[in-house]
């Protein structure tokens, strides 16, 4: 059975949750660019120094690892953390 190349996630930005479809085989820095571009199309400007946290899993995502290595699947949640700890 072939794995889908994309996954549907919930992206938490403060009090809001945005549903996004992202590639599985992506590294953290690339995913941050993809998310920034997607949000820009939705007229949401993000600072470039935000961080991503994988919600609900006690994992720290390595900057060089592919998200697929963390078993990222449909329905998983990513949270945007702004510099200084603000969400």
Ordered by start, the domain boundaries in the chain are 6-79
6-79 folds as Ubiquitin-like (UB roll) (3.10.20)
Output the pLDDT for position 42. Answer: 87
Per the model's pLDDT, the better-predicted residue between 38 and 83 turns out to be 38
pTM of the model: 0.78
Mean pLDDT of the residues in the chain: 83
d(CA 87, CA 68): 25
Residues near 72 by beta carbon (within 8 Å), at least 6 away in sequence: 7, 9, 24, 54
What are the Cα distances from residue 84, in Å, to 1, 11, 63, 70? Answer: 43, 19, 19, 26
Q: What is the pLDDT of residues 24-49, one digit of tens each?
A: 888 888 888 888 888 889 898 877 78
- Count CB neighbours of 73 within 10 A: 13
The strand pairing partners of 56, in sequence order, are: none
């Amino acid at each position: 059975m072939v794995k889908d190349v994309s996954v549907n996630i919930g992206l938490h930005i403060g009090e809001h949750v945005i549903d996004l479809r992202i590639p599985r085989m992506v590294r953290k820095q690339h995913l941050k660019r993809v998310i920034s571009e997607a949000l820009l199309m939705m007229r949401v400007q993000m600072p470039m120094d935000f961080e991503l946290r994988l919600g609900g899993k006690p994992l720290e995502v390595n900057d060089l690892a592919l998200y697929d290595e963390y078993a990222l699947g449909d329905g998983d949640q990513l949270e945007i953390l702004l510099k200084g700890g603000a969400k």
